[in-house]
Amino acid sequence: MKTNNFLPILGCIIFLLLTSCSPEDDIKNPDFNPLVFSEDFSKGAIDNTILNLEGWSNIAEVGNAKWKTQIHSGNPYAEFSSYQSNDAVNIGWLISPAINMDAVEGATLQFRANQSYVSSGANSLEVFIATDYNGNNLTTANWQPITAKLPTTSSPYFEYVISGEIDLSSYTGKINIAFKVKGSGTNTTLDGSYQVDDIRIYTKQ
């Protein structure tokens, strides 16, 4: 007698589709609970344009290069590159909106970043926090460096490095997170790119 194997096979396929996830899903949608602040640069994203998001500051401190929105394989992210800027020195800042830390306890920061064609430590990515940035005082605000895992010159190109969980529990009031890149458009050893994505501030329960 013939048996009908179609329904069990269909059931297995549906189960696999519902329970499987890609490595990127693990990075982009971890169990951040509750989520205090997030940015994945997808809102209104247009590839290869100057990044312009409400509340964010995109500042060329030295030179003309600014952070851009880039999209690869459908994934938007923020990128800073000195390549073809024609500036001897580029320093670009990407600063988050003000985030109220009084509304949360035990907050944690996490993001991911990668590099492409960075061959010198002087072509650097740094991350800072300030409690006194007002949108106009870039050079006088008290920027405190954040210790995080960041891509290095030996990191594979375009391979994201997870920052690790950065403790923000000591901060009160409003803070801004800043990403700062130094490079050069005339020195080919300093014209690499950095990409930043999936910034999350959350509390762990």
How does pLDDT run across 24-77, given as a tens digit for each residue?
444 444 555 689 999 999 999 999 999 999 999 999 999 999 999 999 999 999
Q: Is residue 151 within 8 Å of 113, Cβ to Cβ?
A: yes
How far CA 80 is from CA of 26, 62, 126, 169, in Å, comes to 25, 13, 12, 29
Torsion angles phi and psi, residue 62, rounded to 5: -130, 135
Q: For residue 193, which amino acid is it? A: S
Residue 80 in any domain: the answer is: yes
Residue 1 in any domain: the answer is: no
Residue 144 in any domain: the answer is: yes
How does pLDDT run across 18-34, given as a tens digit for each residue?
444 333 444 444 555 68
How far CA 1 is from CA of 6, 55, 56, 179, in Å, comes to 15, 69, 69, 68
| Spatial distance between the Cα atoms of 157 and 177, rounded to a whole number of angstroms | 24
How does pLDDT run across 136-172, given as a tens digit for each residue?
999 999 999 999 999 999 999 999 999 999 999 999 9
Residue 104: predicted pLDDT? 87
Task: Of 200, 198, 201, give the one whose Cα is nearest residue 40.
Answer: 198
Residue 190 in any domain: the answer is: yes
Range of the domain at 49: 39-96+113-166+178-198
Residue 130 in any domain: the answer is: yes
Residue 68 in any domain: the answer is: yes
Residue 73 in any domain: the answer is: yes
Q: Is residue 129 within 8 Å of 176, Cβ to Cβ?
A: yes
How does pLDDT run across 87-141, given as a tens digit for each residue?
999 999 999 999 999 988 899 999 999 999 999 999 999 999 999 999 999 999 9
Instruction: Report the number of distinct structural domains present in the chain.
Output: 1
Q: Is residue 141 within 8 Å of 148, Cβ to Cβ?
A: no
Residue 154 in any domain: the answer is: yes
Q: Token match 């490079």: residue? A: 183
